[in-house]
Amino acid sequence: AAGLSKIFKGPASVFSKPKIVQAVDRVSLRVWHGETLAIVGESGSGKSTLGRLLLQLLSASEGDVFYEGRNLRQFSTEQMKNLRRDLQIIFQDPFASLNPRMTVEEIVGEPLWLHNIVSGKADRQARVRELLTTVGLPAAFSNRYPHEFSGGQRQRIGIARALASSPKLLLGDEPVSALDVSVQAQVVNLLENLKQQFGLTMIVVAHGLAVIRHMSDRVAVMYLGQIVELASTDDIFDQPLHPYTQALIASAPLLTPGVKRPVPLLQGDMPNPSSMPSGCRFHTRCAYATDECRQVEPPLETVSVNRMVACHRWSELQRDRTSALVPPP
Ligand code: SF4
Ligand code: MG
């Protein structure tokens, strides 16, 4: 057949029991084969936790994760091992995530042993050198130690390690936020090239919108453990519907130089996740909050194709904003 869409990973519904902190609360989302999905939110929004739940680095308290349409609960041990090869993570802090006593060859080569990808030391050496070249580092780095490298180089080593098992999906947990601004663009470009080269699916977790604007196809905006808006990257930037998304965009510097959006900036801090606000969780910081907002939790509703938002007032506010931009006759 022609023109069928392929769903690579099925709907992942992830729930978590309220223990002390409900980091992720009844989130459902799909990650499409070959896309880059950004998960954006302030620290404490649950974005990293959600990423780890999707990758099975954490187990969910409730809910299910599907991979290529199959529930992971039904996977055998062997299938789970293969899954671990397919799903890899790049950590935020290249310092903390690399063992200082291991050589680059040992670090990058470890997944090759773990997954029985190489047959011996010479094989591993050759493969590691190849991986280093792939991420733009000299092959000769393989005998050196992490502390000898800059942040950007260490992040490349972390990426080489993540690529070692030939994954299908890469999760970047704030992959460039620990790096100098001048190096960030290089690492973002590298990730984009690798995605093309290996046909990867990517999930990028980020606290700001600036980094993901040019690399993501879709954006999920999280607030206090829930997705409040999910849309294409263009829609998120051109016509954000949720007041929180609008505030995030308005407070991000340099994104739209010269353009002032008629949107209030974020007010106050994020509430402590252990004492969750009633109704809409954003109501304590939202300039548009009403009594309904304080009492009734807005569902994440589908507002158009591939577009979801959780706000009681999105359409009314949208109308007001649009008419405010039209000059009177
Ligand atoms: Fe603001 Fe109400 Fe919408 Fe929540 S539901 S974002 S409080 S307007
Ligand atoms: Mg985090």
* Distance from residue 293's CA to the centre of ligand 1 (Å): 6
Which tens digit of pLDDT belongs to each residue from 53-111? 888 888 887 888 888 888 888 999 999 999 999 999 999 877 777 888 999 999 999 99
| Euclidean distance between CA atoms 25 and 290, whole angstroms | 23
Which tens digit of pLDDT belongs to each residue from 120-140? 899 999 999 999 999 999 999
Q: How are strands ordered across the β-sheet holding 62-64?
A: 27-29, 12-15, 62-64
Going from the first residue of the chain to its last (329 residues), give the mean pLDDT of each consecutive group of 10, the final group possibly shorter: 28 45 81 94 87 85 85 90 93 82 94 89 94 96 93 94 96 91 92 96 91 92 93 95 92 56 68 82 94 96 94 91 59
Instruction: Read off the amino acid at residue 104.
Output: V
Q: Residue 111: CB within 6 Å of ligand 1?
A: no
| Euclidean distance between CA atoms 288 and 284, whole angstroms | 10
Q: Whole-prediction pTM value?
A: 0.87
Range 122-127 contact pairs with CB under 8 angstroms and sequence separation of 24 or more: 127/164
* Distance from residue 214's CA to the centre of ligand 1 (Å): 28
Interstrand relation of 201-206 and 36-40 (parallel, antiparallel or unpaired): parallel
Q: Residue 243: CB within 6 Å of ligand 1?
A: yes
